[in-house]
A and B are shown apart, each in its own frame.
Chain A
Amino acid sequence: MAPVSLHSVKKTYGDVQILHGIDVDIADGEFIVLVGPSGCGKSTLLRMIAGLETITKGDIRIGDRVVNDLEPKDRDIAMVFQNYALYPHMTVATNMGFSLEHRGASKAEIAERVKWAADILDLSHLLDRYPRQLSGGQRQRVAMGRAIVRNPQVFLFDEPLSNLDAKLRVVMRGEIKALHHRLGVTTVYVTHDQIEAMTMADRIVVMHAGKVEQIGAPLELYDRPANLFVAGFIGSPAMNILGGTIEGAEFKAAGVTLPLPAGVTATGAASYGIRPEHFQLSPEGLPAVVSLVEPMGSETQVTMTLGEHLVTGVFRERVAARPGETIHILPELAAVHLFDATTGQRIN
């Protein structure tokens, strides 16, 4: 186990800059999730940590070694790939023991480690099968087994759950988390799914267009997004964001005036963010015209027009309104986010 630190890491392909200087310090044993929309550079960054991509500029350290020029095999890392990358012509046991075999481990040692990993992952009965004879979830577990047999310093996961169906994804999420809890190995996990990031990470690194937007614990990102991008990316359904101007203690948006929390000093153009669950139904609230009501059972999601803005609200109450009817809603002042109109940075 070892800490991983990325210092001003840059990547360019020809003239195209993919990563614009990434700084992240990952503590020993931490579970870090790199999340962002596709093309944001998160997979490239992971592959640079693995040694599968060269580093154009900057340093990557694993433990106290700069690993920039080391081969993947010399970095003491293990990786789980998106399509599992199981060797089709080898059995599960051979797949899992393959890396040990190439590091000169004895047969007995390999057998022992494979058995250990198979027991943890409930694969013992599948060791003689070939990958093509396994289900998606089983392949996923074999890929993880292959990663843990070697006891590496760092685990790297590249969108490992994206090929599984929704139900299995939830199960495997739990298994990976439990495995991390049990082994305590530093883990870097890449996903585009912010729910995966929220549920699994100790800390999340939100990336966008080759830059880090924010690093923090999941709820920290949820409660205090540092900028508009993070605000919009984390959370589902997404935060409502209304453009307008701050005028004294009020926020003037198109067709509607919203109350502001106390202590806002900024003035002028800004964006007003409020999460769907932070609207309350209240007879003294602002009028909103309902366009769609989606009852989920435990809560109700309502799409409505507030002033000239389409907003989403999620209510614990069951809302009986029909499309076209008007309901009255009120934002929770403590949960209002304000962002600078030009830079997109948080200002409250």
Chain B
Amino acid sequence: MRTDLSPRLRVALYGLMCVLLIPFVFPTWWMITSSVKPISDIFAFPPDLWPRRFDFSTYQRVFELQPFARQYWNSAYIAAIVTAGTMVVSSMAGYAFARIKFPFSNAIFMIVLLGLLIPSEVTIVPLFQMFLGWGMINTHWPLILVPIFGAPSVFATFVMRQFFIALPGELEEAARVDGLGRFKIFWTIALPLAKPALGAVAIFTFLHSWNLYLEPIVFLSSTQMFTLPQALTQFTDAYGGAMWNIQLAAATMTAIPVLLVFIVAQKQFVEGLAHTGLKG
């Protein structure tokens, strides 16, 4: 459909896209600007697209009301470990399913794929009981172990397998002739070539862990252990009403770093996702 467009059509398309952009961009804008409004201005009429008065104390209050730095650290380190762990587990499994001949490999792959079919919500009750039995409730272990080894990493394994299947077999044969064993082939040939796929897996996994909500509220009970998504919903006054400006300040701090990383590396993000095994 890529044809040269007439100038008039061009203007119309730009206009259409700008209108469509509003619901995508405005919420983020509203979040940032409202986070620095004093509470009295937050529901001002008519709405202020730019704060008429600034109140930066909201950002300070975030840290007073919650152990927010600690919660930030919880989310960050859990996401980092889960991302690294998933990259290891899924690249190994994806590689073996794609390239190594071993008995029952297809049957085992099918079983692993079941993980894609079974939403983690289905198994949350027994998982809770299992971790309770292991004394891991109100620890971060469930948020680390399940994503790395369980259902969420299956998607990563699938992406890696699709990538490794497309890798020319001759490269590995050349490596075998050159004197490499399986582990070295994996490490020095297959993995370095899989950087784009690994990048996509890392992005997906990080976002998944960073956004996790049901699992933390099921597994964690003390504010010190909370992760960010869970902490964000805790900014309420004595009557359970939302303290909007403070909550939005916390939300801004949660959203902006990832958003900035995305804007800097948007090419890798978007193209990584587009070109990794997901195409039909």
Taking beta carbons and an 8 Å cutoff, which residues of A are in contact with B?
47, 50-52, 71-73, 77-79, 81-89, 98-99, 102-103, 146
Stretch in contact with the other chain, from B48-56, B113-121, B171-179: B171-179
Contacts A52-B173, A83-B168; A73 near B192 (Cβ below 8 A)? no
How many Å from the CB of A90 to the closest CB on chain B? Answer: 9
> Taking the complex as formed, is B193 at the interface, i.e. its CB lies under 8 A from any CB of chain A?
yes
* Cα of A47 to Cα of B176 in the assembled complex, Å: 12
Contacts of B179 in A (CB 8 A): 73, 99, 102-103
Partner of A71, one of B168, B176, B184: B176
Which DSSP category, helix, strand, loop or mixed, fits chain A's interface?
A: loop
Closest to B167 in A: A88
B178 and A82 form a contact (CB under 8 A): no
* Cα of A82 to Cα of B169 in the assembled complex, Å: 11
> Taking the complex as formed, is B170 at the interface, i.e. its CB lies under 8 A from any CB of chain A?
yes
How many Å from the CB of A75 to the closest CB on chain B? Answer: 8
Can you list 16 contacts pairing A with B, beta carbon distance less than 8 Å?
A50-B173, A50-B177, A51-B177, A52-B173, A73-B176, A78-B177, A79-B177, A84-B170, A85-B168, A87-B171, A87-B174, A87-B175, A88-B193, A89-B192, A99-B177, A146-B174
* Cα of A71 to Cα of B174 in the assembled complex, Å: 12
> Taking the complex as formed, is B180 at the interface, i.e. its CB lies under 8 A from any CB of chain A?
yes
Starting from the known contacts A85-B170, A86-B174, A87-B189, 15 additional A-B residue pairs (CB-CB under 8 Å) come to A51-B176, A52-B173, A71-B181, A72-B173, A73-B178, A81-B173, A83-B168, A84-B170, A85-B174, A87-B171, A88-B193, A89-B192, A99-B178, A102-B184, A146-B174
How many Å from the CB of B200 to the closest CB on chain A? Answer: 18
Contacts A73-B176, A73-B177; A82 near B192 (Cβ below 8 A)? no
* Cα of A161 to Cα of B175 in the assembled complex, Å: 21
Partner of A81, one of B174, B180, B189: B174
Closest to B174 in A: A85
* Cα of A50 to Cα of B178 in the assembled complex, Å: 11
Taking beta carbons and an 8 Å cutoff, which residues of B are in contact with A?
168, 170-171, 173-181, 184, 189, 192-193
Closest to A82 in B: B170
* Cα of A86 to Cα of B168 in the assembled complex, Å: 10
A102 and B174 form a contact (CB under 8 A): no
Partner of B170, one of A78, A83, A102: A83
Contacts of B189 in A (CB 8 A): 87
Contacts of B171 in A (CB 8 A): 85, 87
Partner of A72, one of B170, B177, B192: B177
Partner of A77, one of B175, B177, B181, B184: B177
Tell which of B168, B174, B175 has the most Cβ of chain A within 10 Å: B174
Contacts A83-B168, A85-B168; A73 near B180 (Cβ below 8 A)? yes
How many Å from the CB of B18 to the closest CB on chain A? Answer: 40
Contacts of B176 in A (CB 8 A): 51-52, 71-73
Contacts of B184 in A (CB 8 A): 102
Contacts of A47 in B (CB 8 A): 173
Contacts of A51 in B (CB 8 A): 176-177
Closest to A53 in B: B173
* Cα of A82 to Cα of B175 in the assembled complex, Å: 15
Contacts of B168 in A (CB 8 A): 83, 85
How many Å from the CB of B191 to the closest CB on chain A? Answer: 10
7 tightest Cβ-Cβ pairs between the two chains A and B: A73-B179, A99-B178, A85-B174, A85-B170, A102-B179, A81-B170, A72-B177
Closest to B192 in A: A89
Partner of B193, one of A50, A52, A89: A89
* Cα of A177 to Cα of B178 in the assembled complex, Å: 23
Contacts of B180 in A (CB 8 A): 73, 102
B174 and A79 form a contact (CB under 8 A): yes
How many Å from the CB of A151 to the closest CB on chain B? Answer: 14
* Cα of A72 to Cα of B177 in the assembled complex, Å: 5
* Cα of A50 to Cα of B168 in the assembled complex, Å: 18
Closest to B195 in A: A89
Tell which of A77, A86, A98, A103 has the most Cβ of chain B within 10 Å: A98
Contacts of B173 in A (CB 8 A): 47, 50, 52, 72, 79, 81, 85
* Cα of A276 to Cα of B160 in the assembled complex, Å: 56
Closest to A89 in B: B192
Closest to A147 in B: B177
Contacts of A103 in B (CB 8 A): 179
How many Å from the CB of A323 to the closest CB on chain B? Answer: 48
Contacts of A99 in B (CB 8 A): 177-179
A102 and B178 form a contact (CB under 8 A): yes
How many Å from the CB of B180 to the closest CB on chain A? Answer: 6
* Cα of A77 to Cα of B178 in the assembled complex, Å: 9
Contacts of A81 in B (CB 8 A): 170, 173-174
* Cα of A253 to Cα of B198 in the assembled complex, Å: 69
Contacts of A78 in B (CB 8 A): 177
Contacts of B174 in A (CB 8 A): 79, 81, 85-87, 146
Contacts of A83 in B (CB 8 A): 168, 170
How many Å from the CB of B189 to the closest CB on chain A? Answer: 6
How many Å from the CB of A49 to the closest CB on chain B? Answer: 11
* Cα of A81 to Cα of B193 in the assembled complex, Å: 19
Contacts of A72 in B (CB 8 A): 173, 176-177
Closest to B171 in A: A85
Contacts of A82 in B (CB 8 A): 170
How many Å from the CB of B148 to the closest CB on chain A? Answer: 27
How many Å from the CB of A136 to the closest CB on chain B? Answer: 15
Contacts A81-B170, A85-B170, A87-B171; A98 near B178 (Cβ below 8 A)? yes
Closest to A98 in B: B178
* Cα of A78 to Cα of B179 in the assembled complex, Å: 10
How many Å from the CB of B192 to the closest CB on chain A? Answer: 5
